[in-house]
Amino acid sequence: MSVSVEVPSLGESVTEGYIAEWKVKVGDHVQADDIILDLETDKITVAVPSPVSGTVVSLHGEIDDAVDVGAVIAVIEEGDAPAASAKVDAKEEAAPKAAAQPAAKKADAAQAPEGLSPAVSRLVEENNLDPSKIKATGPNGRLLKGDVLAHLEKPQGGVQPPAASQGSNEAREERVKMSRLRQTVARRLVEAQQTAAMLTTFQEADMSGIQAIRKKYQERFVKSHGIKLGYMSFFVKAAVEALKEFPAVNAEIDGDEIVYKNYYNIGVAIGGGPKGLVVPVIQDADQLGFAEVEQYITDLAGKVKDNSLSLAELQGGTFSITNGGIYGSMLSTPILNPPQSAILGMHNIIERPVAVNGEVVIRPMMYLALSYDHRIIDGREAVTFLKRIAELLENPERILLEL
């Protein structure tokens, strides 16, 4: 019996992925749960397993092809492994189908440097790169496609400017085709801006209270929980308390309905992995203590770096927080993470002169930004919500006491 293998669900609002690497070829015998191929999205790499044991009859799609969720990408004839002679016959019969693959791509696979997948090998060769000079983040030091793309997006030092006598700007330009990943990210960001009535409101917060708590209890916190007390746990807990008071900020639009969420799954933007910035989700953040939130974030950051996030860890978010301050940003307007209706932006903490009780004092200040969908959240709600978060951050004991 022939069994079709379909592109699985790839996460919220993700309708397609890209073929990153085939793990099998036509005529191969696979066991149930053997990996057939890797699919890439703008968020994650997904390994697609075989649902049955059998022989691969056909494969649909080439490396870098876009495939829709639910599309058939392989057909497997269920059954036991054929005898050795039967395997040879099967491969010979499959030759015409395999010939449909471009000769250049076959050559890429055949000539791929040791340890590199065909997709990675092709990128390396097309861009004349030295694999040994690219930072590898895969298991056992394996070079991933995302590593090569990240390397290509970095400004390369040591480039000599062209001679002035050439007289043309074209000689001083370099054109690099956007990766599938970058194209998808670009499209989704534009869609977010075009679909929602997005506005941003700003507030500032005095961080001296949180800094005092961290300084006073950091050592004891580490001894008790084995992890440092950072800033993000305060923001997550403050966001949860504010979301409880302003349910529209935790809601989303579905057609002509507003869906109010009575749970608080907080997405935290994390960078540094081969996929760039991703937003894994802290599930049921309202039920976690400070140490649990910090551990959750540490675990997610490790998975981002190792490119080992699961789909479940990227789904179900109701509100997101992004921290441009770790890169030195003073102020920004974060873009919504659909289908969520709001996102909170943290920024750099800078000591500035401020007026307190009629006197000018120096305080560690942070600008906060809330981007929101004006279709569902009124300006008054957005401003009051952000002001509430600032109040909680400036008086962190109120977070603990839920006041």
Active-site residue set: 374, 378
Q: Any idea what the Cα angle at residue 92 is, between residues 86 and 94, rounded to 5°? A: 100
Q: By the 8 A CB rule, do 380 and 365 touch?
A: no
Residue 146: C-alpha distances to residues 40, 108, 127, 139 (Å): 9, 18, 14, 13
Tokens of 397: 């004991």
| 266 CB-contact burial (10 Å; exposed 0-12 / middle 13-18 / buried 19+) | buried
DSSP H/E element including 306: helix 290-306
Q: By the 8 A CB rule, do 192 and 198 touch?
A: yes
Tokens of 244: 């409880």
- In the three-class reduction of DSSP (H, G, I as helix; E, B as strand; rest coil), residue 391 is classed as helix
Q: Which amino acid does the sequence have at 249?
A: V
Give the strand pairing for 276-278 and 270-273.
Answer: antiparallel
Helices (H) and strands (E) in the chain, counts: 10, 19
Of 93, 7, 82, 86, residue with least CA distance to 57: 93
Q: How far apart are CA 282 and CA 295, in angstroms?
A: 10
